[in-house]
Structure 1
Amino acid sequence: MVSDAGTERLVLRCVDLLAELLAQPLDRFPVQEVAEHLRESVGASMVAWNYVSGHRRRLGYLSEGAESFRDAGEAWLQAHGPGAHPLLRWYATSGSTVPLTAARVPNAIADRRCQEAFAAVVEPLGVLRQLSVPVSLSVHEHDAVVLGRDDVDFSDADVELVARIQPLLVGVRRQIETRRRWADSHGRVDGEDGSGADDAARAVGLTPRELCVLQLLSEGWTQHAMAHHLGISPRTVHKHVEHVYAKLGVGDRLLAVMRARDLSVLPQQRER
């Protein structure tokens, strides 16, 4: 078991990694880098990125030897449906968004028959013990890191570790989503790909996180809603807003949006 001091070191390592990611103008989530870090942190032998949207499913297996798990898992889920997997059943029915292991799913959700059917598929593949770390859960979408190993189950300390890291993963993902909306808005209004707006944002000195906050301001989000969305405190959002205002030379939301449009950081409003 990892000591408390060791856990703190692992959390700080991941915080440093995600802080670096938040400082970059990312257009795609750095799946492999983040997933491999989580695998090392909890001593997993396999890591996968599991994405389900409606009837569409994408299984991005990243670690060595995971191809057999991919093939067997896809065939099994196609035959029996996502509800056959204890963890997918748990998230679909409980409304929970916290990390959990397959063995910790309550019997009321995944009974002995469900767990045994699951074990029959994954135990020969060496990934009987599985820990899911949700990154985005909604009615129509399930996006999560899945960690696996064969020996002892993940400990309470392992689950607590990934639970502390999870909000940062969510924050990175949502910042990337917001940046995509910002870039898309330039394309929709200006008929361009939005690449010139990057130069405009850099000229003003906006960081990727500040640009994300500016985009949310332009969409009418409150600071409290931004804090919840990005997984940070309202105080931190307030500091980001202050920095945005200072760099744009304004004192409120409306002037910030107008000034950003004048500078081509935000697209001009389409004429009606």
Structure 2
Amino acid sequence: MNAAAEAGLRRILAVVDLLIDAVDEETLVPALLPVMLSAVPGDSIIWSPRAGAADRPLTLPADLLSQDVRDAFAREAATDSLVRHTTTGPGTPMRRSTLQTRSEFHSLAVYADVYRPFGAEQQLAMSFPAGYAEGVPRKVCMAISRSGSDFSDDDVAAAALLRTRLSHAMDRLAPPRALPPLITRRESAVLTLLARGLSNQQIAHRLAISPRTVDKHLEHAYAKLRVSSRVEAANAWLTRGATAVRLGR
């Protein structure tokens, strides 16, 4: 192994060591960003968690993105093929130059309004699963930018090597996924008959309980299924059933 390859391996191992020792995301990420910029050299890095509600990105340098740049990105990101690759595509490490020529990149409004202000002439981006946030699957999109030479094949390989380890670390540090709501056996029986089209009176007769008790069971089940009507409850039970809830006694 030559000296350059050995130095690159040491930088990758520094990231791995940091991930292994991490105890929470809040302290990990600020320490991780400069180490990532060493493993995959660049001028800046953007770490953008995404879940049901948009998280604010973290950057190095910390003041990389002005509010004007953030606003422009929100307006124009959908036109950026590299953003689409990381947000809705496979998220594997990708150089911008693989997706578009320099002139194609420079012709985009998102280049003039977002990337040119902080010197992002070359970019390498990827995304990876990062556990759950409030029950919603979460991913992190990460972009490393340079003003000079393009990223090499070795840079892409280093990012690919670290991507799986980053995902495992973030999944480990994420809060435990919330358990689905607990549906009682009686609520399950009521919902099953409701989904078959029975009225409350018929359900009460079938289960040997009062119609008022059926109403109460449905009231509780609606809240657990996050629905507000008989039709919604029936559809939820037919399409999701026990995958949406846990069955109690």
TM bucket (normalised to shorter chain) is 0.5 to 0.7
The count of residues paired between Structure 1 and Structure 2 equals: 177
Name the residue aligned to 1:38: 36
Quick check: 1:77 aligned with 2:69? no
Deviation at 1:54, TM superposition (A): 5.2
Q: Deviations over 1:108-144 (max 9, x none)?
A: xxx9378633332312421222221313289975422
Q: Residue 19 and residue 140 in structure 1: after superposition, are their counterparts in 2 closer, same or farther (change >3 A)?
A: closer
Q: Deviations over 1:32-70 (max 9, x none)?
A: 11122111222211122113335735222232541xx34
Name the residue aligned to 1:102: 96
Give the AA of the match of 2:20: A
Give the AA of the match of 2:157: E
Task: State the percentage of identical aligned residues.
Answer: 19
Q: Deviations over 1:1-28 (max 9, x none)?
A: x83222222222222222222xx4x364
SS of 2:161's equivalent in the other structure is helix
Deviation at 1:76, TM superposition (A): 1.4
Q: Residue 56 and residue 142 in structure 1: after superposition, are their counterparts in 2 closer, same or farther (change >3 A)?
A: same
- Whole-angstrom distance in 2 between the partners of 1:149 and 1:9: 22
- Whole-angstrom distance in 1 between the partners of 2:40 and 2:59: 17
Q: Deviations over 1:62-104 (max 9, x none)?
A: 32541xx342432212323x312221222355x3131112222
Q: Is the 8 A contact 1:86 1:114 kept in 2?
A: no
Q: Is the 8 A contact 1:85 1:114 kept in 2?
A: no
**Unaligned stretches of 5+ residues in structure 1:** 189-269
Deviation at 1:150, TM superposition (A): 0.8
Q: Is the 8 A contact 1:11 1:161 kept in 2?
A: yes
- Measured on the aligned residues, the alpha-carbon RMSD in Å equals 3.5
Name the residue aligned to 1:218: none
- Whole-angstrom distance in 2 between the partners of 1:105 and 1:29: 34
Q: Residue 49 and residue 172 in structure 1: after superposition, are their counterparts in 2 closer, same or farther (change >3 A)?
A: same
**Unaligned stretches of 5+ residues in structure 2:** 183-246
- Whole-angstrom distance in 2 between the partners of 1:145 and 1:17: 17
- Whole-angstrom distance in 1 between the partners of 2:31 and 2:87: 27
Report the TM-score when normalising by structure 2. Answer: 0.58
Name the residue aligned to 1:127: 120
Q: Residue 13 and residue 47 in structure 1: after superposition, are their counterparts in 2 closer, same or farther (change >3 A)?
A: same
Select 2:109's aligned residue among 117, 140, 144.
Answer: 117
Q: Residue 115 and residue 29 in structure 1: after superposition, are their counterparts in 2 closer, same or farther (change >3 A)?
A: farther
Q: Residue 162 and residue 118 in structure 1: after superposition, are their counterparts in 2 closer, same or farther (change >3 A)?
A: same
Q: Is the 8 A contact 1:135 1:144 kept in 2?
A: yes
Q: Is the 8 A contact 2:106 2:112 kept in 1?
A: no
Q: Deviations over 1:133-160 (max 9, x none)?
A: 3132899754222211211121111111
Select 1:151's aligned residue among 133, 142, 148.
Answer: 148
- Whole-angstrom distance in 2 between the partners of 1:7 and 1:271: 53
SS of 1:181's equivalent in the other structure is coil
Aligned 1:179-198 pairs, distance under 5 A? 180-181=175-176
- Please say which structure displays the higher CA radius of gyration: 2
